[in-house]
Amino acid sequence: MWSNHINYYLSMRTHELVLSWIEKQLSDGHLVLGGRLPAERALAEQLEVSRTSVREAIRILEAMGLVRAGVGSGKDAGTVVIAEPAAALGSALRLHVATQHLPVADIVETRVLLESWAVSRAKADAPELKEAARLLDEMDVSAAVDDFLALDVAFHLALAEAAGNAVVSTIMGSLREAIEGYAAALTANLPDWDHTADRLRSEHRAILEAVNDGDGGRAATLVAAHIEGYYREAGLGKAPAETKP
């Protein structure tokens, strides 16, 4: 068990090395949109890392929609750069660090699970809801992205606490940095932050209104759509039709 942890951290460092190398190739213009990465074995030998590390780095880039991993052989084989890399790769690396190596898709899924449960249980007279309302007022006049996102997470924590379950509150609290981290990293993928911020503000109001109305079902639906919507707007996650059974 312990050695698995050691191996995990060792491979984590080396796949970051592969990511850094690819980022440098892109920023230096040696690798361009439509270009191909060296073959897995060649890259592993050149960087003196395992092929597993190369695969892990490519898996991360693929999850970010930056490359398409190749299959087969001949001139169409190999991993191809399929997205404009400059901004997006930076954000892939920031995401990786910001989430403390937790997969963002898993954080998002966990949030939906916990927060939709929490808002469906929140008591309309819970004192945390007053704090939540105050945070929304603060968000209305908060233009800076970092301030906004810190308030946004605080709002979600207040909502979760209104359910009165100490364990759910603690889990949400422990995710605070990871949530703030991925939300901040994903802003690089958003076409228009001010537009997104306005949408988030009105979604927050609608969620809180549903909780205050005692309509837990509506609150749960709205909070799930709110969390998943941001993730999708940043170009992550699958459209419902692509979801495998």
Dihedrals phi, psi of 36, to nearest 5 degrees: -115, 140
Would you state the structure tokens that stand for residue 18, as one six-digit string? 């592969």
**What is the 8-class DSSP label of residue 36?**
B
Q: What's the rounded Cα separation, in Å, for the pair 223 and 215? A: 12
The alpha carbon of residue 85 and the mean position of all alpha carbons in its chain are separated, in whole angstroms, by 18
**What is the 8-class DSSP label of residue 81?**
E
**What is the 8-class DSSP label of residue 78?**
S
Q: Please identify the residue of the shown chain whose CB is closest to the bound Zn ion.
A: 152
Q: What's the rounded Cα separation, in Å, for the pair 55 and 52? A: 5
Name the strand (E) or helix (H) holding 12.
helix 2-27
Q: What's the rounded Cα separation, in Å, for the pair 1 and 14? A: 20
Would you state the structure tokens that stand for residue 164, as one six-digit string? 């009165």
Rank residues 39 and 190 by Cβ distance to Zn ion and give the closer one: 190
Smallest gap from residue 223 Cβ to Zn ion (A): 8
Smallest gap from residue 86 Cβ to Zn ion (A): 28
Rank residues 8 and 193 by Cβ distance to Zn ion and give the closer one: 193
Rank residues 49 and 236 by Cβ distance to Zn ion and give the closer one: 236
Rank residues 152 and 161 by Cβ distance to Zn ion and give the closer one: 152
Smallest gap from residue 173 Cβ to Zn ion (A): 16
Smallest gap from residue 152 Cβ to Zn ion (A): 4
Smallest gap from residue 221 Cβ to Zn ion (A): 15
Q: What's the rounded Cα separation, in Å, for the pair 192 and 75? A: 38
Q: What's the rounded Cα separation, in Å, for the pair 149 and 178? A: 12
Q: What's the rounded Cα separation, in Å, for the pair 94 and 113? A: 25
List interacting residues with Zn ion (CB under 5 A).
Answer: 152
Smallest gap from residue 207 Cβ to Zn ion (A): 8
Rank residues 56 and 152 by Cβ distance to Zn ion and give the closer one: 152
Smallest gap from residue 188 Cβ to Zn ion (A): 18
Rank residues 152 and 233 by Cβ distance to Zn ion and give the closer one: 152
Rank residues 31 and 222 by Cβ distance to Zn ion and give the closer one: 222
Q: What's the rounded Cα separation, in Å, for the pair 15 and 40? A: 12
Tokens 């309309």, located at residue:
124
